[in-house]
C-alpha cells in the first residue's frame, strides 16, 4: 500500500484536528501519524481494520495448518508414555510443586 504524503500527519496535528481526521477516515481515508518523523500509528477505516484482523487470523491458521501438515508428513508413528519420558528426564510426576 502506498501512502500519499498528504496522508501523513504529525502527532500534534492529529491531536489538534482529531475530529476532522476521524471524519475523513470514516469516509475511507487512511492517515499515518508520525512522531519525530517516524511513523508510529495509523487511523484506518473500520472495514480496513476488520480486513487486517481477518488476514492476521488467516495467517495464524495457515501457520498452524503448515505445522500440522509437517508433523503428519514426518510422523514415524512412534509414541511415548508420559511416565517414561518423565523418568528419562528425572521428573517426578507425583511431586507437588
Please report, rounded to a whole number, the percentage of residues in the chain having pLDDT higher than 70: 92
The CATH topology of domain 1-44 is YefM-like fold (3.40.1620)
Task: Of 28, 27, 48, 35, give the one whose Cα is nearest residue 9.
Answer: 35
Size of the chain in residues: 97
pLDDT tens per residue, range 47-85: 999 999 999 999 999 999 999 999 999 999 999 999 999
CA distances to 38, 67, 81, 84 from 78, rounded to whole Å, are 52, 18, 10, 13
Give mean pLDDT, residues 36-52. Answer: 95
Q: What are the DSSP calls for 29-58, one per residue?
A: --EEEEETTEEEEEE--HHHHHHHHHHHHH
Taking the domains of the chain in order of start, what are their residue ranges? Answer: 1-44, 46-75
User: How many Å apart are CA 54 and CA 9, to the nearest integer?
Assistant: 27
Per-residue confidence band for 95, with pLDDT thresholds at 50, 70 and 90 = confident
Whether the per-residue pLDDT at 2 is higher than 70: the answer is: no
Amino acid at each position: 500500500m502506498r501512502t500519499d504524503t498528504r496522508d501523513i500527519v504529525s502527532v500534534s496535528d492529529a491531536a489538534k484536528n482529531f475530529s476532522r481526521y476521524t471524519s475523513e477516515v470514516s469516509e475511507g481515508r487512511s492517515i499515518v501519524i508520525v512522531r519525530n518523523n517516524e511513523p508510529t500509528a495509523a487511523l484506518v477505516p473500520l472495514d480496513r481494520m476488520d480486513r487486517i484482523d481477518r488476514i492476521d487470523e488467516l495467517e495464524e491458521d495457515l501457520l498452524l495448518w503448515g505445522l500440522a501438515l509437517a508433523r503428519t508428513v514426518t510422523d514415524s508413528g512412534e509414541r511415548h508414555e508420559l511416565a517414561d519420558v518423565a523418568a528419562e528426564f528425572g521428573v517426578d510426576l507425583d511431586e507437588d510443586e
